Structure 1
Amino acid sequence: MSTDIEQPVEARLVAAAPRVPSIPATLHYDRSDPFAVRMTFPGPATLEGVEVCWTFARDLLAAGLREPRGDGDVRVRPYGYDRTVMEFHAPEGIAVVHVRSGEIRRFLRDASALVPVGREHLQLDLDHDLAELMRDAR
Protein backbone atom coordinates (compact mmCIF):
# COMPACT_ATOMS: atom_id res chain seq x y z
CA MET A 1 0.00 0.00 0.00
CA SER A 2 1.20 3.50 -0.79
CA THR A 3 2.54 5.65 2.02
CA ASP A 4 1.39 8.94 0.52
CA ILE A 5 -1.09 10.47 -1.88
CA GLU A 6 -0.81 13.43 -4.20
CA GLN A 7 -3.71 15.11 -5.95
CA PRO A 8 -3.56 17.94 -8.46
CA VAL A 9 -6.22 20.60 -7.85
CA GLU A 10 -7.33 23.61 -9.82
CA ALA A 11 -6.80 26.71 -7.70
CA ARG A 12 -8.10 30.03 -8.92
CA LEU A 13 -6.20 33.03 -7.61
CA VAL A 14 -8.46 35.82 -6.35
CA ALA A 15 -6.97 39.08 -7.64
CA ALA A 16 -7.95 42.54 -8.77
CA ALA A 17 -7.39 41.55 -12.40
CA PRO A 18 -10.39 39.88 -14.03
CA ARG A 19 -10.20 36.37 -15.41
CA VAL A 20 -7.08 35.22 -13.64
CA PRO A 21 -6.18 31.79 -15.03
CA SER A 22 -6.18 28.68 -12.90
CA ILE A 23 -3.09 27.71 -10.97
CA PRO A 24 -2.12 24.02 -11.03
CA ALA A 25 -1.62 23.42 -7.31
CA THR A 26 -1.07 20.03 -5.65
CA LEU A 27 -2.39 18.67 -2.37
CA HIS A 28 -0.14 16.08 -0.74
CA TYR A 29 -0.58 13.75 2.23
CA ASP A 30 2.12 11.49 3.65
CA ARG A 31 1.46 8.95 6.39
CA SER A 32 4.89 9.70 7.88
CA ASP A 33 3.48 13.14 8.86
CA PRO A 34 -0.09 12.00 9.56
CA PHE A 35 -1.57 15.17 11.01
CA ALA A 36 -0.45 17.43 8.14
CA VAL A 37 -1.23 18.12 4.51
CA ARG A 38 0.83 20.15 2.08
CA MET A 39 -0.31 22.38 -0.74
CA THR A 40 2.30 23.20 -3.36
CA PHE A 41 2.16 26.01 -5.90
CA PRO A 42 4.47 25.95 -8.94
CA GLY A 43 7.07 28.66 -9.52
CA PRO A 44 5.17 30.54 -12.24
CA ALA A 45 2.29 31.09 -9.80
CA THR A 46 4.39 32.70 -7.06
CA LEU A 47 5.85 36.16 -6.55
CA GLU A 48 9.38 34.80 -6.25
CA GLY A 49 9.07 32.52 -9.26
CA VAL A 50 9.98 29.43 -7.21
CA GLU A 51 7.81 26.57 -6.00
CA VAL A 52 6.10 27.34 -2.68
CA CYS A 53 4.81 24.68 -0.31
CA TRP A 54 2.48 25.35 2.62
CA THR A 55 2.06 22.75 5.38
CA PHE A 56 -0.99 22.82 7.63
CA ALA A 57 -3.27 20.54 9.64
CA ARG A 58 -5.45 18.00 7.87
CA ASP A 59 -8.26 18.78 10.33
CA LEU A 60 -8.04 22.49 9.41
CA LEU A 61 -8.71 21.62 5.78
CA ALA A 62 -11.62 19.34 6.71
CA ALA A 63 -13.23 21.79 9.14
CA GLY A 64 -12.80 24.69 6.69
CA LEU A 65 -15.12 22.94 4.24
CA ARG A 66 -17.99 23.52 6.71
CA GLU A 67 -17.17 26.80 8.44
CA PRO A 68 -14.40 29.42 8.60
CA ARG A 69 -11.30 28.01 10.31
CA GLY A 70 -7.76 29.11 10.99
CA ASP A 71 -6.19 31.98 12.89
CA GLY A 72 -2.64 31.72 11.62
CA ASP A 73 -0.87 31.63 8.28
CA VAL A 74 -3.46 29.36 6.64
CA ARG A 75 -7.20 30.02 6.78
CA VAL A 76 -9.94 27.99 5.12
CA ARG A 77 -13.64 28.71 4.65
CA PRO A 78 -16.55 27.57 2.49
CA TYR A 79 -17.64 29.81 -0.38
CA GLY A 80 -20.90 29.17 -2.16
CA TYR A 81 -22.08 25.72 -3.12
CA ASP A 82 -18.88 24.03 -4.23
CA ARG A 83 -15.95 26.34 -3.59
CA THR A 84 -13.56 26.61 -0.70
CA VAL A 85 -11.47 29.71 -0.06
CA MET A 86 -7.93 29.22 1.17
CA GLU A 87 -5.89 32.17 2.42
CA PHE A 88 -2.13 31.96 2.77
CA HIS A 89 -0.65 34.73 4.92
CA ALA A 90 3.04 35.57 4.51
CA PRO A 91 5.16 38.66 5.27
CA GLU A 92 5.03 39.52 1.55
CA GLY A 93 1.23 39.55 1.53
CA ILE A 94 -1.83 37.34 1.37
CA ALA A 95 -2.67 34.91 -1.42
CA VAL A 96 -6.33 33.96 -1.69
CA VAL A 97 -7.35 31.02 -3.85
CA HIS A 98 -10.61 29.24 -4.59
CA VAL A 99 -10.56 25.46 -4.89
CA ARG A 100 -13.47 23.20 -5.80
CA SER A 101 -14.75 21.69 -2.57
CA GLY A 102 -15.30 18.36 -4.32
CA GLU A 103 -11.59 18.12 -5.09
CA ILE A 104 -10.76 18.76 -1.43
CA ARG A 105 -13.33 16.21 -0.26
CA ARG A 106 -11.89 13.59 -2.62
CA PHE A 107 -8.37 14.32 -1.35
CA LEU A 108 -9.48 14.05 2.29
CA ARG A 109 -11.35 10.81 1.56
CA ASP A 110 -8.19 9.32 0.01
CA ALA A 111 -6.07 10.55 2.93
CA SER A 112 -8.55 9.01 5.39
CA ALA A 113 -8.36 5.72 3.52
CA LEU A 114 -4.59 5.81 3.97
CA VAL A 115 -4.71 6.94 7.64
CA PRO A 116 -8.17 7.13 9.24
CA VAL A 117 -8.98 10.30 11.16
CA GLY A 118 -8.39 9.67 14.86
CA ARG A 119 -5.75 7.01 14.17
CA GLU A 120 -2.93 9.33 13.11
CA HIS A 121 -1.02 8.69 16.34
CA LEU A 122 -0.56 5.05 15.33
CA GLN A 123 1.68 6.18 12.47
CA LEU A 124 4.13 7.91 14.78
CA ASP A 125 7.29 6.24 16.04
CA LEU A 126 7.94 8.33 19.14
CA ASP A 127 10.86 6.19 20.31
CA HIS A 128 12.63 6.69 16.97
CA ASP A 129 11.85 10.43 16.93
CA LEU A 130 13.13 10.85 20.49
CA ALA A 131 16.32 8.93 19.65
CA GLU A 132 16.85 11.27 16.65
CA LEU A 133 16.42 14.33 18.84
CA MET A 134 18.85 12.97 21.41
CA ARG A 135 21.38 12.09 18.71
CA ASP A 136 21.20 15.63 17.32
CA ALA A 137 21.63 17.10 20.81
CA ARG A 138 25.08 15.58 21.30
Structure 2
Amino acid sequence: MSIVIEQAVEARLVAAAPRMASIPARLAYDARDPFAVRMSFPAPATLEGVEVCWTFARELLTSGVTEAVGAGDVRVRPYGYDRTVLEFHAPEGTAIVHIRTGELERFLSDSAALVPAGEEYLHVDMDGDLAELLRDAF
Protein backbone atom coordinates (compact mmCIF):
# COMPACT_ATOMS: atom_id res chain seq x y z
CA MET A 1 0.00 0.00 0.00
CA SER A 2 1.26 3.47 -0.89
CA ILE A 3 2.06 5.85 1.93
CA VAL A 4 1.70 8.97 -0.23
CA ILE A 5 -1.47 10.38 -1.74
CA GLU A 6 -1.36 13.04 -4.44
CA GLN A 7 -4.35 14.64 -6.09
CA ALA A 8 -4.57 17.31 -8.74
CA VAL A 9 -7.16 20.01 -8.06
CA GLU A 10 -8.30 23.02 -10.03
CA ALA A 11 -7.88 26.18 -8.01
CA ARG A 12 -9.69 29.31 -9.10
CA LEU A 13 -7.40 32.22 -8.34
CA VAL A 14 -9.12 35.21 -6.74
CA ALA A 15 -6.21 37.46 -5.80
CA ALA A 16 -2.45 38.02 -5.62
CA ALA A 17 -1.08 36.25 -8.68
CA PRO A 18 -1.01 37.46 -12.26
CA ARG A 19 -1.73 35.78 -15.59
CA MET A 20 -4.04 32.91 -14.63
CA ALA A 21 -7.67 32.79 -13.48
CA SER A 22 -7.59 29.03 -12.91
CA ILE A 23 -4.52 27.04 -11.97
CA PRO A 24 -3.74 23.35 -11.66
CA ALA A 25 -2.69 22.87 -8.04
CA ARG A 26 -1.64 19.64 -6.34
CA LEU A 27 -2.51 18.31 -2.88
CA ALA A 28 -0.22 15.75 -1.24
CA TYR A 29 -0.40 13.70 1.94
CA ASP A 30 2.42 11.51 3.24
CA ALA A 31 1.76 9.02 6.05
CA ARG A 32 5.33 9.61 7.28
CA ASP A 33 4.27 13.18 8.12
CA PRO A 34 0.71 12.36 9.21
CA PHE A 35 -0.38 15.73 10.58
CA ALA A 36 0.52 17.70 7.43
CA VAL A 37 -0.91 18.38 3.99
CA ARG A 38 1.06 19.98 1.18
CA MET A 39 -0.42 22.12 -1.56
CA SER A 40 1.77 23.16 -4.46
CA PHE A 41 1.21 25.71 -7.18
CA PRO A 42 3.01 25.71 -10.55
CA ALA A 43 5.58 28.36 -11.44
CA PRO A 44 3.39 30.32 -13.91
CA ALA A 45 0.84 30.97 -11.13
CA THR A 46 3.27 32.52 -8.67
CA LEU A 47 4.69 36.00 -8.35
CA GLU A 48 8.24 34.63 -8.18
CA GLY A 49 7.86 32.40 -11.24
CA VAL A 50 8.87 29.27 -9.31
CA GLU A 51 6.77 26.43 -7.95
CA VAL A 52 5.48 27.23 -4.46
CA CYS A 53 4.54 24.60 -1.88
CA TRP A 54 2.60 25.33 1.31
CA THR A 55 2.55 22.86 4.20
CA PHE A 56 -0.21 23.08 6.78
CA ALA A 57 -2.23 20.92 9.17
CA ARG A 58 -4.58 18.33 7.71
CA GLU A 59 -6.99 19.26 10.52
CA LEU A 60 -7.08 22.84 9.22
CA LEU A 61 -8.27 21.60 5.83
CA THR A 62 -10.70 19.13 7.39
CA SER A 63 -12.33 21.79 9.57
CA GLY A 64 -12.15 24.49 6.92
CA VAL A 65 -14.61 22.81 4.56
CA THR A 66 -17.37 23.37 7.14
CA GLU A 67 -16.26 26.43 9.15
CA ALA A 68 -13.80 29.31 8.99
CA VAL A 69 -10.49 28.29 10.58
CA GLY A 70 -6.92 29.51 10.73
CA ALA A 71 -5.34 32.63 12.14
CA GLY A 72 -1.86 32.38 10.64
CA ASP A 73 -0.38 32.05 7.17
CA VAL A 74 -3.06 29.63 5.95
CA ARG A 75 -6.78 30.18 6.45
CA VAL A 76 -9.63 28.02 5.19
CA ARG A 77 -13.38 28.59 5.03
CA PRO A 78 -16.43 27.35 3.16
CA TYR A 79 -17.77 29.49 0.33
CA GLY A 80 -21.27 28.87 -0.96
CA TYR A 81 -22.52 25.33 -1.20
CA ASP A 82 -19.72 23.80 -3.28
CA ARG A 83 -16.51 25.79 -2.82
CA THR A 84 -13.86 26.17 -0.16
CA VAL A 85 -11.60 29.21 0.09
CA LEU A 86 -7.94 28.86 0.99
CA GLU A 87 -5.96 32.00 1.80
CA PHE A 88 -2.18 31.91 1.75
CA HIS A 89 -0.52 34.87 3.49
CA ALA A 90 3.15 35.65 2.84
CA PRO A 91 5.29 38.78 3.11
CA GLU A 92 5.01 39.17 -0.68
CA GLY A 93 1.22 39.24 -0.56
CA THR A 94 -1.88 37.13 -0.18
CA ALA A 95 -3.17 34.51 -2.58
CA ILE A 96 -6.81 33.48 -2.35
CA VAL A 97 -8.04 30.41 -4.19
CA HIS A 98 -11.39 28.66 -4.47
CA ILE A 99 -11.44 24.89 -4.76
CA ARG A 100 -14.42 22.61 -5.22
CA THR A 101 -15.29 21.25 -1.80
CA GLY A 102 -15.94 17.82 -3.30
CA GLU A 103 -12.32 17.61 -4.49
CA LEU A 104 -11.06 18.46 -1.01
CA GLU A 105 -13.43 15.98 0.63
CA ARG A 106 -12.25 13.21 -1.73
CA PHE A 107 -8.62 14.00 -0.88
CA LEU A 108 -9.37 14.10 2.86
CA SER A 109 -11.26 10.81 2.64
CA ASP A 110 -8.31 9.17 0.88
CA SER A 111 -5.90 10.52 3.50
CA ALA A 112 -8.17 9.29 6.32
CA ALA A 113 -8.22 5.83 4.75
CA LEU A 114 -4.42 5.87 4.90
CA VAL A 115 -4.15 7.44 8.39
CA PRO A 116 -7.44 7.85 10.27
CA ALA A 117 -7.97 11.16 12.08
CA GLY A 118 -6.89 10.79 15.69
CA GLU A 119 -4.40 8.03 14.86
CA GLU A 120 -1.69 10.24 13.40
CA TYR A 121 0.51 9.72 16.46
CA LEU A 122 0.77 6.02 15.57
CA HIS A 123 2.61 6.98 12.38
CA VAL A 124 5.16 9.33 13.91
CA ASP A 125 8.68 8.00 14.46
CA MET A 126 9.40 9.88 17.69
CA ASP A 127 12.73 8.12 18.29
CA GLY A 128 13.91 8.77 14.74
CA ASP A 129 12.75 12.39 14.78
CA LEU A 130 14.40 13.01 18.15
CA ALA A 131 17.65 11.40 16.99
CA GLU A 132 17.61 13.61 13.87
CA LEU A 133 16.96 16.70 15.97
CA LEU A 134 19.79 15.93 18.39
CA ARG A 135 22.20 14.55 15.80
CA ASP A 136 24.33 17.70 15.62
CA ALA A 137 23.81 18.78 19.25
CA PHE A 138 26.80 16.92 20.62
TM-score (norm 2): 0.95
CA–CA separation in structure 1 for the residues paired with 2:62 and 2:55? 14
Deviation at 1:15, TM superposition (A): 3.6
1:92 aligns to what? 92
Matched, 1:82 2:85: no
**Alignment map for 1:16-27 (pairs within 5 Å):** 21-27=21-27
Give the residue type in structure 2 aligned to 1:121.
Y
Which shifted more, 23-32 or 122-131? 122-131
CA contact (8 A) 2:15 2:94 kept: no
* 4+ long deviations beyond 2 Å: none
What is the percent sequence identity of the aligned residues?
A: 72
TM-score (norm 1): 0.95
CA–CA separation in structure 2 for the residues paired with 1:101 and 1:21? 18
1:123 aligns to what? 123
CA–CA separation in structure 2 for the residues paired with 1:53 and 1:85? 17
SS in 1 for 2:127: helix
Aligned length: 135
Deviation at 1:23, TM superposition (A): 0.4
Give the residue type in structure 1 aligned to 2:66.
R
SS in 1 for 2:98: strand
SS in 2 for 1:72: coil
- The C-alpha deviation readout for 1:40-84, integer Å capped at 9, x for no partner, is 000000000000000000000010001100000000000001000
Two-structure CA RMSD over aligned residues (Å): 1.1
